[in-house]
Every structure is written in structure tokens, then in C-alpha cells.
């Protein structure tokens, strides 16, 4: 009697472990997102199409086309060797500019354009950034209202 209960326990445990193992292996293999540079992505060719990816590189100077009405952003991201065209729909991150490092989440389309679902400006948080004579104040001078509101 006791033995059979133990058996049940072991079987139950094994079933749980097996189920979880299956979930895990399936889950991990499907949901690993590779982090590539533009040249690595170019090297993968069509193999990379439709896979979720993170692409890291620099916004190519002169490549940015921005439609503020439609929130449509097209630019090229490059590293020292290759470049990839990127299309993103949504507001530009505030720090987005030509030449800056970006991390783009999305996937390569069959037409060779990287469709971005998320666009992040890469910033290092290693060292403290500056402080001083109100640079933001001068940046947005034209829309500052003098009265301080709460």
C-alpha cells in the first residue's frame, strides 16, 4: 500500500518534471532573441528573415527620413562594415539623432528592410552625466512659460 503511494508520488513528480521540461525547452528555443550587428545580420542573409532580433549599431548620418504626422521613421543602421535599412512606426525617442547608437527590436522582412517594433537609444549608465547651468533650459527656451507651476 505504502509502496504504491510512493510510486504515485514519483510518477506524479516525474510527470510534472517532464511537462515543465518540455515547456522549457520549447520556450527557450523559440524565444531566444539574437543580438546582432548590422554586418552580422547582412551575413545571415535570408536565414534571418522573420526571426525576432535585436539589432545594435549606429544611426547612419544622412539616412533619417521622418514623417511626424504619420509617425513614420526610416533610417539606416550601420557598423564599420555593413548597414541595414530600418523602418519604425511610432514616436522618435527623444534622444534619437544621426550618429547615435541604437538598439532596435524587430525582425527582418523579406524585402530586406528591418521592421522595428521597439527603438531604444543606447546610453551608458556607467558614469554620472553632467550637471550645471541649465542646459535643458536653453534647449527649450522658446516654449518656456515664465511662471513656475506646480
> Using the rule CB under 8 A, which residue among 46, 47, 110, 130 binds another protein?
130
Query: 82 to each of 22, 39, 78, 145, how far by Cα in Å?
Result: 38, 4, 6, 46
Least distance in Å: CB of 17 to another protein? 7
Give the chain's largest Cα–Cα span: 84
Query: 46 to each of 39, 85, 107, 110, how far by Cα in Å?
Result: 13, 15, 12, 7
11 binds another protein (CB under 8 A): no
> Using the rule CB under 8 A, which residue among 3, 47, 111, 128 binds another protein?
128
46 binds another protein (CB under 8 A): no
* Dihedral angle computed from the Cα positions of residues 131, 103, 37 and 62, in that order, rounded to the nearest 10 degrees: -80
3 binds another protein (CB under 8 A): no
Angstrom distance (rounded) from CA 42 to CA 48: 9
Minimal CA–CA distance to 88: which of 70, 111, 110? 70
64 binds another protein (CB under 8 A): no
> Using the rule CB under 8 A, which residue among 52, 64, 87, 115 binds another protein?
52
47 binds another protein (CB under 8 A): no
100 binds another protein (CB under 8 A): yes
Burial class for 36, CB neighbours closer than 10 Å (0-12, 13-18, 19+):
buried
Contact 77, 58 (CB under 8 A): yes
> Using the rule CB under 8 A, which residue among 17, 43, 49, 65 binds another protein?
17
2 binds another protein (CB under 8 A): yes
Residues that bind another protein (CB under 8 A): 2, 5-6, 8-9, 12-13, 16-17, 20, 23-24, 27-28, 30-36, 52, 54, 56-58, 68-69, 71, 78-80, 90-92, 94-95, 99-101, 121-140, 142-149
Amino acid at each position: 500500500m505504502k509502496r504504491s503511494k510512493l510510486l504515485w508520488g514519483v510518477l506524479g513528480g516525474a510527470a510534472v518534471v517532464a511537462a515543465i521540461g518540455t515547456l522549457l525547452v520549447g520556450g527557450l528555443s523559440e524565444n531566444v532573441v539574437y543580438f546582432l550587428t548590422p554586418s552580422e545580420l547582412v551575413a545571415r542573409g535570408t536565414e534571418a528573415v522573420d526571426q525576432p532580433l535585436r539589432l545594435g549599431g549606429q544611426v547612419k548620418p544622412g539616412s533619417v527620413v521622418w514623417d511626424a504626422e504619420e509617425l513614420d521613421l526610416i533610417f539606416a543602421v550601420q557598423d564599420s562594415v555593413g548597414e541595414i535599412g530600418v523602418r519604425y512606426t511610432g514616436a522618435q525617442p527623444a534622444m534619437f539623432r544621426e550618429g547615435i547608437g541604437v538598439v532596435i527590436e524587430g525582425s527582418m522582412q523579406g524585402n530586406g528592410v528591418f521592421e522595428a517594433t521597439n527603438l531604444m537609444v543606447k546610453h551608458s549608465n556607467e558614469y554620472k552625466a553632467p550637471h550645471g547651468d541649465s542646459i535643458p533650459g536653453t534647449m527649450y527656451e522658446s516654449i518656456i512659460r515664465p511662471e513656475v507651476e506646480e
